[in-house]
A and B are shown apart, each in its own frame.
Chain A
Amino acid sequence: EVQLVEAGGGLVQPGGSLRLSCTTSGFTFSRAWMTWVRQAPGKGLEWVGNIKFDGNEKYYVDSVRGRFTISRDNAKNSFYLQMNNLRVEDTAVYYCAKIFDDSDGYWGQGTLVTVSS
């Protein structure tokens, strides 16, 4: 059974940093592209970014490029979202997901990030 578990959410001040982690199981992580998606309160889903299975390719939505970095550790079956220079508009539930391939549809339970002074 595919499982994804996020951790690391919380309250942070504008301009601050936070690192989210996603620990996975139930599939061959080292062969999988992985994805971060977020959902602001009362809003729709927004793709944040992807990372290739070997970590050598990463893609981001324009609004986070240069501030957020996705990385992974295949030995730990985990990947991460480093968020710097956080803004109020980054407040959202952040989901890690295995949704890159056409038939994929696996999500974590989400972790809330609140950016507020």
Chain B
Amino acid sequence: SYELTQPSSVSVSPGQTARITCSGDMLAKRYARWFQQKPGQAPVLVIYKDTERPSGIPERFSGSTSGTTVTLTISGALIEDDADYYCYCAVDNTWFFGGGTRLTVL
């Protein structure tokens, strides 16, 4: 059975670089996406196809990949980036979310 593994929490101070990883065998062959979710709100796409940034997403958000791990990097994190982040991938007609990472910017 496939799964995507993320750290449960990451903490950084404002202006520092935050890195959130997502690991899973499927990531070696499939693209991943990253969603940001703030309390009481629907998720927002921040990275797709491992490294692409949708229009309207700030340049401080970037994605990278290496083997079975993808990484979301927020360079110079802002207080407003404090949120939950989920990776997302599909394999064999089944879609998976990672368990989510609580990013605290404080």
Contacts and interface: CB of A to CB of B under 8 A. Distances in A.
A105 B93 contact: no
B54 interface: yes
Interface stretch (A8-16, A20-28, A80-88, A106-114): A106-114
A106 to B, nearest CB: 8
A91 interface: no
Contacts of A104: 45, 48
A103 B42 contact: no
Q: How large is the interface on A (under 10, 10 to 19, 20 to 34, 35 or more residues)?
A: 10 to 19
Contacts of A68: none
A44 B94 CA distance: 17
Given A44-B86, A44-B97, A47-B97, A105 B45 contact: yes
A61 B35 CA distance: 20
Contacts of B84: 44
A9 to B, nearest CB: 14
B42 A102 contact: no
Interface residues of B, number: 23
A47 B52 CA distance: 22
Contacts of A103: 48-49, 52, 54
Given A103-B49, A103-B54, A105-B48, A45 B100 contact: yes
A95 interface: yes
Contacts of B35: 45, 105
B96 A47 contact: yes
Contacts of B86: 44-45
Nearest to B57: A105
Interface of B: 31, 33, 35, 37, 42-45, 48-49, 52, 54, 84, 86, 88, 93-100
14 contacts: A44-B86, A44-B100, A45-B43, A45-B88, A45-B97, A47-B94, A50-B93, A59-B94, A99-B33, A105-B33, A105-B44, A105-B48, A105-B54, A107-B44
